[in-house]
Structure 1
Amino acid sequence: MPVLGPETPDERELREWLEKQKRGNIERLETSAQTIIQLVTGLYGVLFAVLALSDQPAYLEQPVVQWAGTVGVGAFFATLVMALFVLLPRRVSYETDNLGEMQAVYQGLLGRKAVLLQIAQGCFLIGMAALVVVILAILWQG
């Protein structure tokens, strides 16, 4: 049970730090989504460079390269879509004099962005794994 009494400087500092972290959550989620978009854009270039060469090398006929390439392209596309959904503005409405409703709207917005970013991260990992499989299949072709 918490002790009642005046707030100590350490407690005040901790409370203020936690409030600052809370205020920055949505901004950090959106910054993370932007970073993922930049990474995927670059990795799309790598994947397409490996898969879409004009002279059609023999490794493109390997089923593992075809399947992993398809999975990679799809996963990176899903990553971009989910990351963009994190960044898209969304209209929210609430009563300005109802702090409980404002908190619920904030928690809903934060939760939605966090879930979408987690899905984007999962898709990104799948895309990276597919890219690694494509590259390894090319290196090990015999």
Structure 2
Amino acid sequence: MRILGPETTDDRELREWFESQQRGNIERLEAGAQTITQLVTGLYGVLFAVLALSDQPAYLQNPVVQWAGTAGICAFFASLIAAMLVALPRRLSVQQDNLTEMQQMYRHLQGRKANLLRAAQAMFLSGTACLITVILALLWGW
């Protein structure tokens, strides 16, 4: 790490690249949340089609299908809520001349969105695992 001396062209390009990454971070988090929302919506259709709640097929009596199906629906719903909370606009009030407060608010916002997106991803993976369990239980008669 260089401490003294003028900034070189490479140093400036690296600093500018990191600044652009920081500026685009919130948008990427929100885009990830929108992707999870779209995927959950699609997989809900698949899960409900497999469970076929209106006809009550015989395989719904299988405890593995019942538990994995219920857990999958709950996990996808939790993922959907967490992803929507990432993308939801929120009112921010900071003093326009206080850079320290603005930086703290940005870090807080970024941290909240990142944590919610991680939760949405974890719940999405959990719901997908439940969906796979339901499909395998149906195919192999567990």
Query: Do they superpose with TM above 0.5?
Result: yes
CA deviation string 1:79-137 (max 9, x = no partner): 00000000111111111101000000000000000000000011001100100000000
Where does residue 4 of structure 1 map in the other structure?
4
Where does residue 115 of structure 2 map in the other structure?
115
TM-score normalised per structure 2: 0.96
Structural mapping, 1:24-63, within 5 Å: 24-52=24-52, 54-63=54-63
Q: Distance in 2 between matches of 1:63 and 1:26?
A: 42
1:85 lines up with 2:85 in the alignment: yes
Task: Tell me the matched-pair count.
Answer: 142
Unaligned runs of 5+ in 2: none
Structural mapping, 1:62-101, within 5 Å: 62-101=62-101
Query: Which segment drifts farther, 129-138 or 46-55?
Result: 46-55
State the 4+ residue runs in structure 1 displaced beyond 3 angstroms: none
Q: Distance in 1 between matches of 2:27 and 2:18?
A: 15
Q: Distance in 1 between matches of 2:54 and 2:92?
A: 49
Unaligned runs of 5+ in 1: none
TM-score normalised per structure 1: 0.96
Partner SS state of residue 3, structure 1: coil
| Superposed CA RMSD | 1.2
Q: Distance in 2 between matches of 1:58 and 1:125?
A: 27
